[in-house]
Amino acid sequence: MTKKNEMPSYLHFDKSSYAWRDDVNYRNQPEEYRVGKGEQDVLICEPYKSEIGQHWRFKTANLANESSTKIYNLFNKYLNNDEFVGADMARKYLQMGFTRARRYANYQGGKKYNHDNNYEVNKKGTDDPEKAISAEIFYAKWKETEANEKYKKMKKDWKKKFG
């Protein structure tokens, strides 16, 4: 948990020690993929980033519903094709839909940190009900992916084999 005036970790990011690389095609070299924590790698791993990211929207509840359904369908497509990396990336986009919509619901303009005041955490309280609904929509789809038995087995096997 970030302390009140502790700078966000992304400010001291060390790209050389990061497990994911933007010069790898993870469909052609899936063994290079690592599951990681939470949403790690979601904006790096091609071609999945381009295939999934184009559908990722949470501005309104209608957009969130349409977006999460498209991404969930991609998740199932990847599972049916035994493409664990794609399925895991789709899951991460659904998780990120939840976390980003929640951040916009909680903080004005989605800005958690005040960059002009030593990265102090901004006060919560914008209470954007539309973004809160978007977050709920993404949350439900995200949890559906994590409950999928085939996905759970593939993830367990992948982590055991590759990390």
Query: According to the model, what pLDDT value does residue 124 have?
Result: 63
Instruction: Tell me how far CA of residue 136 lies from CA of 18, 74, 83, 93, 139, in angstroms.
Output: 31, 20, 27, 14, 5
Q: What is the pLDDT of residue 93?
A: 97
Specify the pLDDT at position 1: 44
160: pLDDT strictly greater than 80 = yes
Residue 74 has pLDDT above 60, yes or no: yes
Mean pLDDT of the chain: 83
Banded pLDDT at 38 (limits 50, 70, 90): confident
Q: Classify residue 143 as exposed, middle or buried by CB count within 10 Å of its CB (0-12, 13-18, 19+).
A: middle
- pTM beyond 0.75: the answer is yes
